[in-house]
Chain A
Amino acid sequence: MNEAPRKLSLDQWDGRYEQLRRDGLREPAYGGPLRRHVVREKDFRLQQLQFDNSPAALRLWNFLLTENERLHQARAGGEKIVGAMKDLGTVPVMACALPGARAFYPDGAWWTPCLMECSDKLLQQAERMGLDASFCPVRAMLPAFEHGGHFPRPDLLVCSAGAVCDDFSAIAQRLEHLGHSIFWWEIPRRRHPDFGETACPLPGNLAAPKTQVDCVRAELQRVAGALGELAGITLDNDRLAAGIRAANQARQLLDSLRRAVYGAPAAPLPALEMLVAEMLAIHFCSDRPETIAVLGGLLAEAQTRARRGQFVAGAEAARIFWVNPVADLRAMNLLEELGGRICGSDYMFTHALDLIPENLPPLEALARIALADPMAGPTSDRAARIVRECQAGRAEAVVVSRIPGASHCAREGEIILEMVRRKIGIPAIELEIPPVCDALRPSLASRLQALVETARARRPQ
């Protein structure tokens, strides 16, 4: 069953899957050949990707691509479905602490048009609803809510407001105006404590005034009330503490996986699978126990490969730190094809990778982790973390990718690039990667190839 790591096309995975089945592959209920996602869900983009050949990667992809199916099954089984919007990683910890409830991430629909190569017409439908290409691709969730066919309509929609990007606010408000009731909670823009103000340490080497933490804690108390009301069970401290412990288990696994892959002299797992794995931190792909199993499988695979000296990108590959997730997943394949590898990442939700403090009252701990969201604070805080992690990961270059229409801060890329150049002096570029635009692949490849060449040329001879 174990073979040397290599990347497979979808066609090659068909054969590999048959071989794994013959060898006694055991799969979870959502398992099956990758091909079926193209046939049944029209995830056409899979036909253009290169996948890792391990059973652990197969499980990861199947887990990711069956989320809607699993949500519908959960609904049919009587479970309560919570749509946690904008907030990246806090409300799901709370929702998953309730028996019979699961959270998902409707905003994740931004990926759908890319996966389906627009065959679902979500972006066109969003345009007809008044949200054109000048808006963030998250607009794809609007028609997904309206017309169904993707995720089930949640029993409760919870959305953070305040320190969130304008595009998202506009889209979420439009959603509410269309009749989808939203439970709003507010997160203030994080600021550094003033002189004389009581400061609270936050995960990620950050700090905020105690007044801000108190404010978020009170807001999360309201969220806990709404979730408890939905489930018919009080979401008390014991349940929350258990939920935090379970979430930390997933976060610890992800941390170990990132260390095993990004920290290794060569890459035991590909950049693409790592991007998908990191995404699980946000909302557990609506199944926390299974997230733990999937991450555990990937970690075991990475460790086994590293022990055997088997890698998907060699030690000569340029070590790239990647900032922001890409809409077109092919970019991650492309980086490796051109001689790069990922040595660290900031996909916008680094706070969801940090452990939630277990030595604090649960809502206090959750408030602190929510305030540590890089999107809720100044970009300079985010840039400082990126610089630290670049140094720790011995990055040779940085890519800040952008998605057209999506800007959490108009000058975000510039601020990050400037700090990277000033503090560590490595090449750093900003790339715009649209969700679906095949014609731009050559120019994207040129930029990545130039970055890899530059990084390699700077190595001591």
Chain B
Amino acid sequence: MICAGIDAGSRSIKAVLFDTERGEVLASGLAAQGVAQERLAAVLFEQLLQEAGLDRPRISGIVATGYGRHAIGFAGTTVTEITCHARGVRRLAPEARTIIEIGGQDSKIIRLEDGGRVRDFAMNDRCAAGTGRFLEMVAARLEMNWEKLAELGRQSRKPALISNICAVFAETEIIGLLADGQPLPDVVAGVQNAIATRVAALAGRLVSPPVYFTGGVALLAGMARALEEVLACPVQVAPRPQFTGALGAALAAAAPNPPGGGRLL
């Protein structure tokens, strides 16, 4: 059986085709998010089908997850990111007990039980201070891309102290720090620490190791290390962390009773 998972996030759409019999991902891809979410997801989905040499009737079920999941009309049902990231990580790392997912719009802490079932979770409130959006703001302010941001962060010797309460205030602080002559690498590392501290506060007492890090922000070198420091425990980046939600959605589509209920196609 081949199932599809589509993770319509706030910044990008991710899709995965998963073969349940062979237990492997047949194709995966990512597209930038936009206004016409369903069309963008459909184009991506068709690309993956082509890549895998499949036609649409071979797909047994499609589950959509993510912020824009309800816009994906061709999906059979919708399931939240909490459930999907848990399923995705359980597949990739059954020993995981905590998942930290930092996405473009929000961040989540998911605690798992033995067997990978969700025990509890917490999500950030409205503020962008603990999310990828904060990093995007900083990257835009510093006129650089994420790769450059990561590279700079690694060069830091003494990370700057930046507020983790409000992304807008923090941006003002960054301008002040740069005007004060603070080295750019220290400012970037300070931003990463601010996000990590915010996420750690959200986690509270939910964190038990092993901890896996998923979501697009996990790709930013330095973020996992910043999280390790504030959580005082090792944090492993999940394989291809940006696709964990989509993989979990595909696995949910393969389940006999999909968590969201309803038809699959």
Interface positions of A (Cβ within 8 A of B)? 339, 414, 418, 421, 425, 427-430, 432, 440, 442-443, 446-447, 449-450, 453-454, 456-458
The answer to whether A429 and B122 have CB atoms under 8 Å apart is: yes
| Residue from B83, B117, B119, B204 in contact with A450 in the complex, judged by beta carbons closer than 8 Å | B83
Interface string of B230-265 (1 = CB under 8 A from A): 000000000000000000000000000001110000
Complex contacts, A458 vs chain B, CB 8 Å: 117-118
- Residue B82 interfacial (CB < 8 Å): yes
Q: Which residue of B lies closest to A437 (CB)?
A: B126
| Residue from B83, B119, B205 in contact with A453 in the complex, judged by beta carbons closer than 8 Å | B83
Interface string of B30-45 (1 = CB under 8 A from A): 0000000000000000
Known: A427-B118, A457-B118. A450 touches B125 (CB 8 A): no
Q: How far is the CA of A144 from the CA of B117 in the complex (A)?
A: 50
Q: How far is the CA of A403 from the CA of B22 in the complex (A)?
A: 49
The answer to whether A440 and B260 have CB atoms under 8 Å apart is: no
Q: How far is the CA of A446 from the CA of B64 in the complex (A)?
A: 13
Q: How far is the CA of A226 from the CA of B125 in the complex (A)?
A: 45
Complex contacts, B106 vs chain A, CB 8 Å: 443
Interface string of B147-180 (1 = CB under 8 A from A): 0000000000000000000000000000000000
- Residue B79 interfacial (CB < 8 Å): yes
Q: Which 4 A-B pairs have the closest CB atoms?
A: A450-B82, A450-B80, A454-B118, A453-B259
Complex contacts, A443 vs chain B, CB 8 Å: 106, 123, 126
Q: How far is the CA of A457 from the CA of B81 in the complex (A)?
A: 14
The answer to whether B81 and A446 have CB atoms under 8 Å apart is: yes
The answer to whether B67 and A442 have CB atoms under 8 Å apart is: yes
Count A/B pairs, Cβ under 8 Å. Answer: 54
The answer to whether B82 and A454 have CB atoms under 8 Å apart is: yes
Q: How far is the CA of A456 from the CA of B260 in the complex (A)?
A: 10
Give A423 Cβ to nearest chain B Cβ, in Å. 14
The answer to whether B83 and A457 have CB atoms under 8 Å apart is: yes
Complex contacts, A450 vs chain B, CB 8 Å: 80-83, 121, 123
Interface string of B72-83 (1 = CB under 8 A from A): 000000011111
Q: How far is the CA of A458 from the CA of B82 in the complex (A)?
A: 14
Q: How far is the CA of A339 from the CA of B80 in the complex (A)?
A: 13
Q: How far is the CA of A303 from the CA of B70 in the complex (A)?
A: 37
Q: How far is the CA of A458 from the CA of B205 in the complex (A)?
A: 21
Show 17 residue pairs from A and B whose CB-CB distance is below 8 angstroms, ordered by the A residue: A414-B204, A421-B120, A427-B118, A427-B119, A429-B120, A429-B121, A430-B122, A432-B126, A442-B67, A446-B67, A446-B81, A450-B80, A450-B123, A454-B83, A454-B118, A456-B259, A457-B259
Complex contacts, B120 vs chain A, CB 8 Å: 421, 427-429, 454
Known: A427-B119, A446-B67, A456-B259. A432 touches B125 (CB 8 A): yes
The answer to whether B80 and A449 have CB atoms under 8 Å apart is: yes
Give B204 Cβ to nearest chain A Cβ, in Å. 7
Give B168 Cβ to nearest chain A Cβ, in Å. 15
| Residue from B125, B205, B259, B261 in contact with A418 in the complex, judged by beta carbons closer than 8 Å | B205
Complex contacts, A428 vs chain B, CB 8 Å: 120
The answer to whether B126 and A453 have CB atoms under 8 Å apart is: no
Q: How far is the CA of A457 from the CA of B79 in the complex (A)?
A: 12
Complex contacts, B259 vs chain A, CB 8 Å: 453, 456-457
- Scoring B79, B83, B120 by chain A CB atoms within 10 A of each residue's CB, the highest score goes to B120
Q: How far is the CA of A442 from the CA of B106 in the complex (A)?
A: 12
Give B86 Cβ to nearest chain A Cβ, in Å. 9
The answer to whether A453 and B80 have CB atoms under 8 Å apart is: yes
Complex contacts, A442 vs chain B, CB 8 Å: 67
Task: Name B118-146 residues within 8 Å CB distance of A.
Answer: 118-123, 125-126
Give A459 Cβ to nearest chain B Cβ, in Å. 10
Complex contacts, A456 vs chain B, CB 8 Å: 259
Q: Which residue of B lies closest to A432 (CB)?
A: B125
Task: Name B195-212 residues within 8 Å CB distance of A.
Answer: 204-205
Complex contacts, B121 vs chain A, CB 8 Å: 427, 429, 450, 454
- Scoring A421, A427, A428, A450 by chain B CB atoms within 10 A of each residue's CB, the highest score goes to A450
The answer to whether A453 and B260 have CB atoms under 8 Å apart is: yes
Give B209 Cβ to nearest chain A Cβ, in Å. 18
Q: Which residue of A lies closest to B252 (CB)?
A: A453
Q: How far is the CA of A240 from the CA of B13 in the complex (A)?
A: 66
- Scoring B67, B79, B121 by chain A CB atoms within 10 A of each residue's CB, the highest score goes to B121
Complex contacts, B125 vs chain A, CB 8 Å: 432
Complex contacts, A430 vs chain B, CB 8 Å: 122
- Scoring B122, B125, B205 by chain A CB atoms within 10 A of each residue's CB, the highest score goes to B125
The answer to whether A457 and B122 have CB atoms under 8 Å apart is: no
* Contacts A442-B67, A446-B80, A450-B82 known; 9 new A-B pairs at CB < 8 A: A421-B120, A429-B123, A446-B67, A446-B81, A454-B82, A454-B120, A457-B83, A457-B118, A458-B117
The answer to whether A457 and B117 have CB atoms under 8 Å apart is: yes
Q: How far is the CA of A451 from the CA of B108 in the complex (A)?
A: 13
Give B50 Cβ to nearest chain A Cβ, in Å. 31
Complex contacts, B122 vs chain A, CB 8 Å: 429-430
The answer to whether B123 and A447 have CB atoms under 8 Å apart is: yes
Q: How far is the CA of A48 from the CA of B83 in the complex (A)?
A: 29
Give A453 Cβ to nearest chain B Cβ, in Å. 5
Q: How far is the CA of A454 from the CA of B125 in the complex (A)?
A: 19
Q: Which residue of B lies closest to A428 (CB)?
A: B120
Q: Which residue of A lies closest to B204 (CB)?
A: A414
Complex contacts, A418 vs chain B, CB 8 Å: 205
Complex contacts, A339 vs chain B, CB 8 Å: 261
Q: Which residue of A lies closest to B87 (CB)?
A: A457
Complex contacts, A449 vs chain B, CB 8 Å: 80, 260
Q: How far is the CA of A186 from the CA of B62 in the complex (A)?
A: 61
Q: Which residue of B lies closest to A440 (CB)?
A: B126
Task: Name B77-118 residues within 8 Å CB distance of A.
Answer: 79-83, 106, 117-118
Give A326 Cβ to nearest chain B Cβ, in Å. 15
Give A61 Cβ to nearest chain B Cβ, in Å. 30
Complex contacts, B260 vs chain A, CB 8 Å: 449, 453
Q: How far is the CA of A253 from the CA of B83 in the complex (A)?
A: 40
Complex contacts, B119 vs chain A, CB 8 Å: 425, 427
Give B166 Cβ to nearest chain A Cβ, in Å. 13
Give A420 Cβ to nearest chain B Cβ, in Å. 10
Known: A440-B126, A447-B123. A453 touches B117 (CB 8 A): no
Q: How far is the CA of A141 from the CA of B244 in the complex (A)?
A: 48
Give A134 Cβ to nearest chain B Cβ, in Å. 13
Q: Which residue of A lies closest to B123 (CB)?
A: A447
Complex contacts, A421 vs chain B, CB 8 Å: 120
Give A314 Cβ to nearest chain B Cβ, in Å. 12
Q: Which residue of A lies closest to B260 (CB)?
A: A453
Q: How far is the CA of A187 from the CA of B196 in the complex (A)?
A: 42
Q: How far is the CA of A425 from the CA of B118 in the complex (A)?
A: 12
